[in-house]
């Protein structure tokens, strides 16, 4: 139950009123303040909070069909639990708002925090005419429901007093005072203040402004290469043309006040020009079309051999549902709306959304897995290509693992392939004449080499294994690169597996952990077998000719074993 008071306190702290943030926090709002949330605790009434939670709980019990006896018993138990929460929360809340007089606070995201070596986030509380003793009282109060705070924690608290404010940075804590001394407050007509004015009557106020420094950072920051063009264009255009954005939400039923005017506007985005607003609207429409069509394509590819096929109507339904979320265009503004009187139609909306989720969830999951399986295929191709490049360099296949003068294993084939997988720097740091788990080499165990990990495997580490007794063999000479060439694969490189997936990953540097022929013979994804993957229905396998094929878990075990041996004479075995 200790987590419930914490959640309730957090909920209370998100309830705000019509306090003028511009007046209170203007000294902390610079031109590089890109996000600002204003919070005011004066309108919170705990009695209304209890009533709201009680009514919401009872409505839910009726909705799910509790009979009268069960309803009354459960509602009474809920009332008792809320009373316990009130006993815990009320003294804390009263001390903060009445004794300490903390009525407002703000969350500020300012890019000028970065040059001071800090994360660009800070909480601010007005702190005029308060003492160090008040800070101690504040710490004791907010932690009282969760146990006594040790003295060393109190002495090293993150709160910093600066010019009438109590500031709480993310980390490091000591630099926030330096930032506060360098602030040049934004002018009264700054975009961040225009955003706040647009939601002045809201009970939750969020303002975002895009500074020139932010535009430069976004313009010069490289986006990941796999980001779709439609998403890339939208992000780049929007961030260069948005002036400000604001969000507003009424909590009138929760705190017992009258709804604010124009309660149906949830978020407003102010563009530089009306044509920009229309352009963004069109890009969002294209993104919906692209996203749903891509999901449909990948879903169909993934399930082309399955008994169940998601009907095309489901995807058309999804497009229509998503289009209802598109904003209205009003001159140079985009307005995302929710209706204040949506309650009457809420069951229909929930039912409609539920149907959409039920229809599309398999499609989304399949699309994600199809994308991960494609990534897995590409990574195995890179590994096999690296094997070929290694062979070109040394006229030999990489060894399964290297050995020292006494024949003890040192490093896996994965370490030797690093220079051919764009990890030359890491390769240069590893001491190849020491074991993989020596004190020096142990520091690289947790280094993530993405190409060795299947995206569908959440464990990290290496998801790919060579086969003991397959195309790669251990070293027979200390620190040599190997003697065996592609000539030893007499069954043909297109008929011999080089790399297979394993269900449970292991350390990529380890010389052990590779699959044996005996383990392979247990089958793909068979109970107790290490061979397999997190991909439904089988695993990816890389062949020595550079191809990657999906091997179903229903494959004949004799064929699977034949594919793993390089010189078994099983060419044309039926694969």
User: At residue 451, does pLDDT exceed 80?
Assistant: yes
Q: Confidence class of residue 21 from pLDDT cuts 50, 70 and 90?
A: low
Tell whether 66 and 212 lie within a shared domain: yes
Contacts (Cβ under 8 Å, ≥6 apart) of 562: 491, 568, 570, 573, 575
Q: What's the whole-number mean pLDDT along residues 162-184?
A: 78
More confident residue, 538 or 354: 538
Residue-level pLDDT at 5: 41
**109 close to 36: Cβ distance less than 8 angstroms:** yes
In a domain, 276, yes or no: no
Tell whether 247 and 387 lie within a shared domain: no
- Top mean-pLDDT range of 378-392, 458-472, 481-495: 378-392
Q: Quote the pTM value.
A: 0.51
Burial class (CB in 10 A: 0-12, 13-18, 19+), 58: middle
In a domain, 57, yes or no: yes
Tell whether 393 and 251 lie within a shared domain: no
Burial class (CB in 10 A: 0-12, 13-18, 19+), 345: exposed
Nearest 5°: phi and psi at 312? -60, -30
Q: What's the whole-number mean pLDDT along residues 111-132?
A: 82
In a domain, 159, yes or no: yes
User: At residue 378, does pLDDT exceed 70?
Assistant: yes
pLDDT digits (tens, 9 = 90+) for 134-161: 888 887 777 766 566 666 656 666 788 8
Parallel/antiparallel/unpaired status of strands 515-516 and 467-468? parallel
Mean pLDDT (the chain, rounded): 78
Nearest Cα to 391, choosing from 527, 487, 505? Answer: 487
Residue-level pLDDT at 274: 92
Residue 281: Cβ within 10 Å count = 15
Q: Rounded to an integer, what distance in angstroms lies between the CA atom of residue 271 and that of residue 438?
A: 58
**438 close to 510: Cβ distance less than 8 angstroms:** no
More confident residue, 233 or 549: 549
pLDDT digits (tens, 9 = 90+) for 283-311: 888 888 888 887 787 777 766 665 566 77
Cα 151 → chain centroid: 36
Nearest 5°: phi and psi at 101? 70, 30
Tell whether 253 and 374 lie within a shared domain: no
Q: Rounded to an integer, what distance in angstroms lies between the CA atom of residue 333 and that of residue 316?
A: 28
User: At residue 52, does pLDDT exceed 60?
Assistant: yes
User: At residue 361, does pLDDT exceed 70?
Assistant: no
Q: Rounded to an integer, what distance in angstroms lies between the CA atom of residue 538 and that of residue 501?
A: 10
In a domain, 363, yes or no: no
Tell whether 120 and 246 lie within a shared domain: yes
Residue-level pLDDT at 93: 84
Range of the domain at 46: 3-263
User: At residue 187, does pLDDT exceed 80?
Assistant: yes
3-state secondary structure of 105: strand
Q: Confidence class of residue 47 from pLDDT cuts 50, 70 and 90?
A: confident
Tell whether 258 and 374 lie within a shared domain: no
Per the DSSP assignment, residues forming a β-bridge with 166 are 125, 161
Peptide linkage before 172 cis (omega within 30 of 0) = yes
Domain count within the chain: 2
Pick the last residue of a domain from 228, 263, 298.
Answer: 263
Pick the last residue of a domain from 263, 280, 310.
Answer: 263
3-state secondary structure of 336: strand
Which of 74-83, 180-189, 364-373 has the lowest average pLDDT? Answer: 364-373
Pick the last residue of a domain from 234, 263, 292.
Answer: 263
Q: Rounded to an integer, what distance in angstroms lies between the CA atom of residue 570 and that of residue 559?
A: 9
In a domain, 157, yes or no: yes
CA atoms within 13 A on the CB side of 31: 7
Residue-level pLDDT at 144: 65
Q: Confidence class of residue 13 from pLDDT cuts 50, 70 and 90?
A: very low
**519 close to 467: Cβ distance less than 8 angstroms:** no
Tell whether 386 and 258 lie within a shared domain: no
Helix, strand and coil in the chain, % to nearest 5: 45, 15, 35
User: At residue 417, does pLDDT exceed 90?
Assistant: yes
Q: Confidence class of residue 120 from pLDDT cuts 50, 70 and 90?
A: confident
Residue-level pLDDT at 8: 40
In a domain, 314, yes or no: no
In a domain, 543, yes or no: yes
Q: Rounded to an integer, what distance in angstroms lies between the CA atom of residue 410 and that of residue 477?
A: 12
In a domain, 520, yes or no: yes
Parallel/antiparallel/unpaired status of strands 409-412 and 328-330? unpaired
């Amino acid at each position: 139950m200790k987590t419930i008071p914490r959640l309730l306190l957090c909920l209370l702290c998100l309830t705000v009123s019509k306090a003028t943030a511009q007046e209170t926090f203007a000294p902390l709002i610079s031109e590089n303040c890109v996000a600002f949330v204003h919070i005011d605790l004066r309108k919170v009434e705990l009695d209304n909070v209890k009533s709201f939670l009680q009514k919401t709980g009872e409505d839910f019990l009726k909705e799910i069909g509790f009979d009268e006896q069960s309803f009354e018993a459960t509602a009474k138990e809920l009332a008792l639990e809320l009373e316990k929460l009130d006993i815990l929360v009320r003294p804390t809340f009263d001390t903060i708002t009445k004794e300490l007089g903390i009525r407002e606070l703000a969350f500020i995201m300012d890019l000028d925090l970065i040059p001071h070596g800090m994360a660009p986030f800070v909480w601010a509380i007005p702190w005029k005419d308060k003492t160090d003793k008040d800070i101690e009282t504040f710490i004791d109060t907010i932690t009282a429901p969760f146990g006594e705070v040790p003295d060393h924690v109190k002495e090293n608290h993150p709160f910093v007093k600066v010019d009438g404010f109590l500031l709480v940075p993310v980390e490091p804590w000591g630099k926030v005072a330096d930032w506060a001394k360098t602030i040049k407050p934004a002018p009264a007509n700054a975009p961040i203040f225009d955003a706040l004015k647009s939601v002045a009557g809201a009970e939750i106020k969020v303002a975002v402004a895009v500074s020139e420094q932010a535009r430069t950072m976004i313009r010069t920051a490289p986006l990941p290469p796999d980001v779709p063009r439609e998403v890339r264009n939208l992000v780049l255009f929007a961030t260069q043309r948005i002036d400000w954005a604001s969000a507003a939400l009424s909590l009138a039923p929760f705190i017992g006040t009258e709804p604010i005017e124009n309660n149906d506007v949830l978020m407003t985005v102010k563009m530089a020009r009306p044509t920009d607003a229309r352009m963004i609207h069109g890009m969002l429409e294209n993104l919906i079309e692209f996203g749903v069509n891509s999901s449909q394509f990948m879903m169909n590819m993934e399930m082309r051999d399955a008994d169940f096929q998601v009907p095309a109507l489901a995807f058309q339904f999804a497009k229509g549902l998503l289009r209802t979320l598109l904003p209205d265009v009003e001159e140079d503004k985009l307005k995302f709306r929710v209706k204040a009187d949506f309650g009457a139609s809420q069951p229909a909306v929930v039912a409609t959304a539920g149907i959409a989720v039920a229809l599309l969830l398999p499609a989304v999951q399949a699309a994600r897995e199809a994308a991960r399986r494609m990534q897995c295929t590409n990574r195995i191709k890179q590994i096999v290509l690296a094997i070929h490049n290694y062979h070109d360099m040394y006229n030999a296949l990489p060894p399964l693992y290297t050995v020292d003068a006494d024949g003890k294993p040192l490093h896996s084939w994965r370490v030797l392939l690093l220079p051919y997988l764009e990890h030359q720097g890491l390769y240069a740091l590893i001491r190849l004449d020491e074991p993989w788990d020596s004190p020096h080499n142990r520091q690289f165990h947790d280094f993530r080499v993405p190409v060795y990990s299947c995206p569908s495997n959440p464990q990290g580490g290496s998801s790919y294994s060579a086969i003991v007794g397959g195309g790669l063999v251990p070293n027979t000479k200390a620190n040599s690169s190997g003697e065996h060439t592609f000539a030893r694969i007499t069954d043909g490189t297109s008929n011999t597996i080089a790399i297979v997936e394993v269900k449970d990953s292991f350390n990529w540097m380890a010389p052990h952990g590779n699959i044996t022929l005996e383990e392979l013979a247990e089958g793909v994804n068979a109970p107790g077998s290490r061979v397999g993957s997190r991909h439904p229905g089988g695993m990816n396998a890389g062949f020595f000719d550079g191809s990657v094929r999906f091997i179903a878990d229903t494959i004949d075990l004799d064929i699977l074993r034949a594919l793993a041996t390089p010189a078994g004479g099983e060419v044309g075995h039926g694969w």
